[in-house]
Amino acid sequence: DIVMTQTPLSSPVTLGQPASISCRSSQSLVHSDGNTYLSWLQQRPGQPPRLLIYKISNRFSGVPDRFSGSGAGTDFTLKISRVEAEDVGVYYCMQATQFPWTFGQGTKVEIK
Amino acid sequence: QITLKESGPTLVKPTQTLTLTCTFSGFSLSTSGVGVGWIRQPPGKALEWLALIYWDDDKRYSPSLKSRLTITKDTSKNQVVLTMTNMDPVDTATYYCAHSHWTLFDYWGQGTLVTVSS
């Protein structure tokens, strides 16, 4: 299985300030078709996960442009340009390049 | 719009078999590239991918749970069923179903909490 490792596990952020979450995979996520199937999901308290970003950097429908994804190979980053109160929650990276699909441990974003 | 809803027992006893149903709307499970997956989350813990069934009946399972899981679909009823045998207290979790388009989960159900206890 591909292991997904996120850092940090907790990220206290001041409102309006940026936040960054790193996700590293135990092997390259480049698929044989040339695509990299790395997604980011947000889980607000008491809510199901919500897709934010797919294929490294593509924002899903309705996702604010303050969220951005980058990276390649085994190293990926989710950035929030200016954290808002509604961004509080746990963020997960997920790989779908190889079965079984696997998730990171989650990074909790909270307001200082 | 796409919606999914999980249903099933909230409490099961150890060794029993869990049967969960995902009832969906807004898409067809006979459309190329479409799938429905199951993911679980123990209280306070991370997400764990369990199984996925595609429009062409291709089925994928978590290797660590494969011997206990079965996923099926009923396209006419817009339902996907997951069964998990030999339930244990460590299987206590919120179980989610989600719509998949090829290689992502873009729509999720609200989840259903299943507690395993005697």
Q: Which of B52, B60, B104 lies at the smallest CB-CB distance from A54?
A: B104
Residue A59: closest CA among B100, B1, B106: B106
Q: Which of B104, B106, B112, B113 to mutate to test the interface with A (most CBs of A within 10 A)?
A: B104
> What pLDDT was estimated at residue B91?
98
Measured CB to CB, residues of chain B less than 8 Å from chain A are 37, 39, 46-49, 52, 60-63, 96, 98, 103-111
Q: Which of A101, A103, A105 to mutate to test the interface with B (most CBs of B within 10 A)?
A: A101
Inspect the interface and report whether the beta carbons of B108 and A50 lie closer than 8 Å.
yes
Pick the residue from chain B with its C-alpha nearest to A104. B46
> What pLDDT was estimated at residue B57?
96
Inspect the interface and report whether the beta carbons of B106 and A106 lie closer than 8 Å.
no
Q: Give the tokens for residue B103.
A: 């290689």
Residues in chain A with pLDDT < 50?
Answer: none
> What is chain B's pLDDT, residue by residue, as a tens digit (118 residues)?
999 999 999 999 999 999 999 999 999 999 999 999 999 999 999 999 999 999 999 999 999 999 999 999 999 999 999 999 999 999 999 999 999 999 999 999 999 999 999 9
- d(C-alpha B84, C-alpha B43), whole Å: 18
Q: Give the tokens for residue A101.
A: 């699909």
Cα angle for residues B107, B31, B50 (degrees, 5° grid): 45
Taken in order B47, B51, B55, B59, the sign of the CA dihedral is: positive
> What pLDDT was estimated at residue A32?
97
Q: Which residues of B touch A1 (CB under 8 A)?
A: 63
Interface A-B, measured as beta-carbon pairs within 8 A, has a size of: 55
> What pLDDT was estimated at residue B20?
98
> What pLDDT was estimated at residue A6?
98
**% helix / strand / coil in chain B, to the nearest 5?**
10, 55, 40
Pick the residue from chain B with its C-alpha nearest to A60. B106
Give A66 to chain B, closest Cα distance, Å: 19
> What pLDDT was estimated at residue B36?
98
